[in-house]
Structure formats: C-alpha cells, structure tokens
Chains A and B, each alone.
Chain A
Amino acid sequence: MTQMTFARAINAGLRKSLENDPKVILLGEDIGTLGGVFRVTDGLQKDFGKHRVVDTPLAESGIIGTAVGLAYRGYRPVVEIQFDGFVYSAFDQIVSQVAKLHYRTQGAVKMPITIRVPFGGGIGSPEHHSESPEAYFTHTSGLRVVSVSNPQDAHTVIQQAISCNDPVLYFEPKRRYHDKGEVDESLDPRTALPMDTARVLTEGTDVTLVAYGPLVKTARDAATAAADEGVSIEVIDLRSLAPVDYATVEASVRKTGRLVVTHEAGQSGGLGAEVAASITERCFYHLEAAPVRVTGFDIPYPYSKLEMHHLPGLDRILDGVDRAMGRPNSLSGLEG
C-alpha cells in the first residue's frame, strides 16, 4: 500500500497500462512535456516516448477522430480532454462515431477508446472549466461512462477502462486531484470490483444516498454528520453512470425505503432523474417517500464567487435527507 494523490494514482494506472500493452497510446493537448495541465500524465512521455504519449494539435474533434482511426488499426487510444468544457468540440465524433461504430458494423469494429475528462467545479475556475456534462454521454447508447471517487478506484478503473473493448468516458473529479489515499498498486484490475459495479460505502438503515465522483466525499461527510443526529445513511458510490448498477441501488432502497441522489450537474434531464425514475419503477412499493434529488441548479455554471451556491454541499444534502425522512426541512409546509 502506498499513500498517493488521486492524480498520481491515475498516472500510475496509465503507466501500468502503457507497460502491459504496446497498443496503448496516449493522446492529448499538453500531455507530453508539460505532463498535462493537472500533471496527470507527468513523466510518461519521458519514459515511453513521443509515439506512445502524443502531444496533439489543439483540436478536440481531431483528437477523438484520429483516435477512431487508431482504434480501427488495433490501437487502444487513451485521450485526455483538457477540461470538461472542451469536450463539446469533440461531441460529434464521440456520439456519432465512437459510440456507434461497433453497432453499425455489427460488431466487426471495436472502439476501445478511453476518454479522460477532468470534470466538475469547486476550484474557482473561469467559465467552461467546471462543467458536468455526463448526462449528454449517458444518454448516448454504446458508450460506457464511469466516474471515480478515490485514488484506489482511480488507479484500478483507469486500467479496466483501457482494457475494455467498449469506449469509456472516464470522468475525473478535478477538485479531488490532490486528495490523498491508500493505493494498492498490486491489485489486479481483472479480479478487482468491475468498473460497472456500484459500491456500498457506508451501510445504513434510514436512507439510501447515491453519489458519484466529486460528491462521494461530501456524501460520506453528510452521512457522518447525520449519524450524530441519529439518522443512518447508506452511501452508495455509483461508479458506473452508464450502465447503472441498479441491482445494488435497488437492494439498498428495499432496505431503507428512501432514496436521495446527488450530483453537481443540473437537475433536469440529469442522471438523478434517471436513477429516481428507475428505482421508482423497480421498487415503488418499498418506497416510503418520493425520491429526492439534490443537484446543481438548471443554470449555466456560475462564476466562481458564487459556485458554492450551485454545488450541493453537505448541508443541502442533509436538507434533502430530511425531506426524504419527512423531518423538518427548508421546504416544510410546501407541497413537494
């Protein structure tokens, strides 16, 4: 076991993949000499060479489009999109090509492309640097979408994503890059918890609280705070956003009877809506209250001075828990 930061853990995972498979190739802006603006690829070009760790021209559609060609040729491209807000430039290549080629060719062509996207807010950045675009991709069939929440998972899941024969969007919570945690580098990604499986982080009996990526830490803190107030929260780290591991969430909700989902992305059409609807369909008769979403607002990501109002914090999550529990909350006295 080694203590390392989130960013370092991904770096170590990328290194292993580069070592284990000569077909793995990294592409992106500033990922070589600079080691990426977040230093996630630090030192990799020095050790693996410019043909394996490629500084690309400043062209996102070009990066993904050429990754498609490399995949046709049998490579496993791992692409870095520098910031969430720049993935839209590559949107057409991702949803029209990357996502659909396997299906369109009736399985003949594989697209084992991993697209790393540092995402989410909370770091005081200017506009286009704090987006949570995951729902655009979970809405697109053919893509796998994951988000990691701790260094160990970051390390293991990046390797699982790279060895997966489907395209994977790998969302990295950038405000957690410097958080440290224990990482067992010897853990075999093939026998570790598969990346499409959710994990129960803290067991509880009163409410199921579902989170992913940057908000998992906040959700755990909320569970600790709630325990002091006598409320027992079961926290689930969703890990895979597409497909969602509903079996794990469903089992938890059958036990607790209450569901709260939290994410930074806006509420409407977000993943929380999908989880709430699916769980309602699957275990309506086990629910004791309507599912609650605690999310960002339906606004463009605000300027940094006010971003903490948009992002769900511990108190907003607890307020949501109170709503699910029928305890006094900020909306008491209102319908819904």
Chain B
Amino acid sequence: MIRSLLSHDLPRSKLLAALLIATVLGLALTPFIFPGTKALNVAAKILIFIVLVSSYDLLLGYTGIVSFAHTMFFGIGAYGVAIACSRAEDPGWGTVLTGIGGALGISLVLSLVIGLFSLRVKAIFFAMITMAVAAAFMTLASQLSEITGGEDGLSFKVPEALRPSTEYFEEPVLGAMIDGKFAAYYLLFVATVVLVLLLLRIVNSPFGRVLQAIRENDFRAEAIGYRTVVYRTLSNVLAALFATAAGALLALWLRYNGPDTSLSLEIMLDILLIVVIGGMGTIYGAVIGSVLFVLAQNYLQDLMKLGAGAVEGIPVLSQLIAPDRWLLWMGLLFVLAVYHFPFGVVGRLRLGAAAKARE
C-alpha cells in the first residue's frame, strides 16, 4: 500500500524515513501540538513551499533545466484565485475553482510557448530568457492595477468554510480551535500530500526516466530516439501547472496576493536554495529542504537577533549576525552546498545508507 502510494520510490535510508515520518506527523498535527498563529502560519508556508519546490525539482533536478520563471507560474496561480475571489460578492467554491482553472489554463499556454520557443537552446540561454520573461511578467502584474491591484495587491474573501470567523465548535477540541483557519490548514495539508504523491508518480514513471536520461546526456537520449524538446517542454508545462496549484494554495491561505508575495525574485532564490540544500532530483529533498528552510527563516532570525544583541558593540561581528543579514549566511551555505554537498541532505543520507548496506 505505502509502496504503491510512494510509487516504489522509498526513502532508502532509515534516517530519511524517520525524518519524513516526523515531518508528515508534525505537519498533520501542528494545530494540536503547537498552538498559536505563528506556528500555524509557518506550517502552512512549509506546505506551500513543499509543493512549489518539488515542482521545481521536477524541472531542475529531474530534467536539468534551470528556469527563473517558476515564480511567474506561482504568481499566476495566486492571482487566479485572488482575482476571481475579489471580483465575487460572496465567493464560493465555484469562484475558487474558476480562478484556479483560469490560472492553470494561462500557465499551460504560457509554459508551452516558452518551452517550444526556447528549450532548444543551451541551459544558460534558457535561464536568461526565463529571467527576462519573469521580470517582464512582474512589471505587467504591478502595472495592470485595475486587474491585479498593482503594488498594493488584492485582499479578498475566501469561501465561507475557510473564513477565520467561521467556527465549527464553540469549545476548543484537544487544544485547537476548530474554525475556518483550521479547515483551510487541512485543505492545504491534503492538497500538498496529494500533489507530492502525484509528482512522485510522475518522476517514477517511464516518462520520468526519460527526463533523467535527458538530464544525464541529452545527446544520447536524442540518439536513442526520444524527441528531447517534446519531453523538456512537457516537463516545463507540468512543473508550471504544479507551481500554479501551489500559488492557488498560497492565495487561499493568505487571503491576499501582491507582487512581492508571489512573484519576487527572492522567492525564486528561496526555491533554488531549498532544492539545492534538500537534494536535487529526489522530490523528498524538496520536502526536507522546505521544512529546514522555512523553519530557519522564521526562527533562526529570532536567534540571530538574540546573538546580535549579545555581541552588540563589536563593530563587524554584530553587523554580520544581525537578523537582516540572514540571507548572507544562506548564500554562503548555498555555495558550499553546491560544491561539497552536491546531492543535498537527501542524497547524502541515501549515499550513507547505501554505503552501510554494502559493508
């Protein structure tokens, strides 16, 4: 049962399996174990990033394509829900589905066009083109203020079942308030589980094997008879659709969307950092990486604030561990990871387990 749910792609390392189980349990029980809005927001962000990053892993890790337009599709998903819901007087599920459907359609067409136009060229070329396209899209989103709310973004209502004001029980159950926020969290959780299992299914299918073959040696894959452009484009389209879904989840959770929330280059950098640190080409890497990264982002900065307070007065050091310099350390970690840790956390654990099994 579990074997087929995971598409026969088992963790292959006891420690990794334990980490994954802990992650799933932790995320499933967050509203009960960690009360408070901050913990719930962090957990929701982890869930959204798991979907977003694992979809990027399909592109970068499995197919070897570097795209900087992934946040564009993330943003399309978020704007799809945001625009549909902000237009409706009393948005229901139909409104949300319309928004998601429209967003998926736009992402499909856009990713297909980008893929067919530019995936014939070298990796470096594609990376540059997507970067330019993403920048243009961000400008577009902030300029079309009648539709997107411009720089201010859009605040909107969600279907009644997900509104924080909706209370299902008067009293807290097991320490958690069963309200609309609670329902929204579990919607996110279920959607994330389904989408990640679907991605696992895709990468472990024959189609996924072709993608890996293209990543390893596209010339040989072409020679065997696979139309690599078609496969690359399909990979691009699939990744875009999953990113759109992640964006829709983000909008449903935040009940707000703006250019900085879903389109900024910083999110793109976060995605890259998480994929590399978690381990490229594993999908599980996206899960572990997202947990580590989002937790670090939210709690390490608090720690750094304490540290900076402790060394206050020492000129350079206090500057270096000021919480604003958090990204500096992530950048260093990123560079070191690419050099010395090319398989990421998950790859490392698997290699360790494989070495032990051989002994």
The answer to whether A binds B is no
Q: Which residues of B contact A (CB under 8 A)?
A: none
Q: Which residues of A contact B (CB under 8 A)?
A: none
